[in-house]
Structure 1
Amino acid sequence: MEDVKRQHSIRVLGAFGTKAKGFGTTSFMLNPTTTVDAGNLLDALEKESIEVENIWLTHSHLDHIVDIAYILDNYFSQRTKTLNIMGLPETIKAVKENFLNDTVWPDFSTIKLYGKDAMVVKYIEIEANKSYQISENETIRPFLTDHTVASCGYVYTIDNASVMITADTYSLDNVKNILETNPDIKSVIIECSFSNNMKTLALESKHLTSELLFAQLNSFKRDDFSLYINHIKPTYRQKIVEEIEAFRGKWKPIILKDEDFVYFR
């Protein structure tokens, strides 16, 4: 039964825009070996994180990459396969130079797996709008988003149904264009990081408030998809949830929390 559930859903490992007790940062499990982002792998998966082989990064901000460091550190001697880290060229460069750089944390791309010849980490640069095969019936396609650093979202497809993970973004123009030309996208995950009184900060940091989010959604020609909201800042969660309810209009958003599932429907 669990296998069937996984085939038709994405497990939310971390749903929030910053870490706090009981709140994990962004990470989605596509299948038992593949995630989008790495904000909350260790707490959510514990020893199961040994099985993670592929991490598709949306961008280089810490809340999306932090647990790469800890799953490698905690389970170094038990890992038997290289961890492939996929991302835009700018994202890979940032991780190599500023994170796993032998100053902040070890450069695991130069360290061999325990008792093996393969390296612990392999970096793979990806191209926006190119489709990549994950398995026989799974593909993933990155698309550019509007953030303060190079950033992408992903369209993840199983058979003929897709989920769009938009990641951190301010403008939804590209999201709108992709949605309106891809009817196979049945569910969409969009951020809403700040309360409406923090609109200036949202603009400066390239994030959304509920007012900004629904103003853009209301211009979409399509509304026949399930809308999921993530990346809420825990400190402002109650206020943001109330504002989402006030501004949602015709939309019926599902506000994500850690360990929820996103369904292909």
Structure 2
Amino acid sequence: MRLRVLGCSGGIGTDSYTTAMLLDDDVLIDAGTGVGTLALDDLLKIDHVFVTHAHLDHIAFIPFLVDTTGSLRDRPLIVHALPSTLQCLQAHIFNDHIWPDFSCIPDANRPYMRYEPIAVGKTITLGSRKITPLPADHIVPAVGFQMDSGQSSLVFTGDTTASDALWDVINQITNLRYLIVESAFSDAGQEIAVHSKHFYASLLAKELNKLQHAAEIYITHLRQSEAEVTMREISAGVKHCKLHRLMNNQVFEF
């Protein structure tokens, strides 16, 4: 499996794009503004979007993706997400007010897009690839994802705060190679991080000490203005592993 980072920033601006990752050629993990960096030929290859949660920085380009490619495809784009996340997309995005309801365009028998509910712990198999939703604790219902090639796994936590349930599952993944975990705030943003159920630096450092594997760890969702200080604060509290900042266009093979 090959994962390319299209966007990993906590905001937008020059060379900053919100969360989106391309798994092989045909699967998106989240669909933030990073999707806009892809060429049309690349967009046409995408058959699946796995969504961690309904916040705009993770779903903003699903409407544009469907609108751009729908008439050029011979099968619907499948959006995989928790039932509550799918309900948000239906009620607040694809509602014929904000954007057309492409789940019934051009008609209900040949839609440009199809919803597929997922559940924590229930693996989706795409050929030889396995994608498993993992528990997360965010201000809205959310999941992370384990991507397992059979040889090794990459885990993306999505947006979350401290969660024993998440670490319990991660520590059971015997072939874990990469862990991508968020820290949306430095310690200066602790108050808003707690309110919004995001990690801040020292809390993430404390949680990373629960990891029982020697995985490579990458930090995502960093804000442009405080990325360096956030990385320093996390690293200061982590005892047993080296941390890396996730970067746009970074590629993981596993």
Per the shorter chain, which TM-score range? over 0.9
- What residue is the counterpart of 2:112 in the other structure? 120
Which one of the candidate residues 32, 42, 55 is aligned to 2:49? 55
Task: Encode CA deviations 1:161-212: one digit per residue, 9 max, x unaligned.
Answer: 1111110000131221012222122211100111111101110011111211
Alignment length (residue pairs): 253
Whole-angstrom CA distance in 2 between matches of 1:123 and 1:235: 36
Shift of 1:11: 0.8
Whole-angstrom CA distance in 1 between matches of 2:122 and 2:33? 27
- Partner residue in 2 for 1:133: 125
Alignment of 1:14-29 (within 5 A): 14-29=7-22
Is the counterpart of residue 30 in structure 1 residue 20 in structure 2? Answer: no
Aligned residue in 1 for 2:149: 158
Q: Is the 8 A contact 1:143 1:154 kept in 2?
A: yes
Which is further off, 246-255 or 52-61?
246-255
Give 1:132 deviation, angstroms: 1.2
Contact 1:187–1:263 (CA<8 Å) still a contact in 2?
Answer: no
Alpha-carbon distance in 1 for matches of 2:101, 2:64: 13
Q: Where does residue 257 of structure 1 map in the other structure?
A: 247
Instruction: Give the aligned residue type for 2:167.
Output: K
Shifted more, 188-197 versus 210-219: the winner is 210-219
Per the normalisation by structure 1, the TM-score is 0.89
**What CA deviation, in whole Å up to 9, does each residue of 1:215-249 have, x standing for no partner?**
111233x1411111111122322332332343344
For structure 2, the residue ranges without an aligned partner over 5 or more in a row are: none
The gaps in structure 1 that reach 5 residues or longer are 1-6
Q: Distance in 1 between matches of 2:166 and 2:35?
A: 30
1:244 to 234, 240, 247: 234
SS at match of 2:145: strand
- Indicate conservation of the 8 Å contact 2:66/2:113, yes or no: no
Q: Counterpart amino acid of 1:102?
A: D
SS at match of 1:71: helix
Contact 1:88 1:151 in 2 (8 A): yes
The yes-or-no answer on 1:85 pairing with 2:75 is: no
Structure 1 runs of 4+ off > 6 angstroms?
none
Deviation at 1:260, TM superposition (A): 0.7
Cα deviation for residue 72 of structure 1 reads 2.3
Partner of 1:70: 64
Q: 1:95 aligns with which of 81, 84, 89?
A: 89
- Quote how far apart the aligned CAs of 1:117 are: 5.8
Question: Whole-Å Cα distance in 2 between the matches of residues 144 and 180 of structure 1?
Answer: 13
**Contact 1:42/1:70, CA 8 A, preserved across alignment:** no
TM-score, normalization by structure 2:
0.93
Tell me the alpha carbon deviations over residues 75-133 of structure 1, each in whole angstroms, 9 at most, x when there is no partner: 443233311001011010011101111111111111128xx962101011112101111
Displacement of 1:160 in angstroms is 3.0
In structure 2, relative to structure 1, the CA distance for the partners of 1:217 and 1:245 (3 Å cut) is closer
**Partners in 2 of 1:84 and 1:75 — Cα distance?**
13
SS of residue paired to 2:54: coil
Distance 2:65 2:210 in 1: 41
Report the residue type matching 1:190 in the other structure.
V
Contact in 1 for aligned 2:123/2:133 (Cα 8 Å): yes
C-alpha distance in 1 between matches for 2:70 and 2:231: 40
Tell me, what secondary structure is at the counterpart of 1:258?
coil
Cα offset, 1:257, TM superposition: 1.4
Asked if residue 216 in structure 1 is aligned to residue 212 in structure 2, the reply is no
Q: Secondary structure at the match of 2:78?
A: strand
Evaluate the alpha carbon distance shift between residue 41 and residue 199 of structure 1 in structure 2; reply closer, same or farther with a 3 A threshold. closer
Q: Which amino acid aligns with 1:149?
A: V
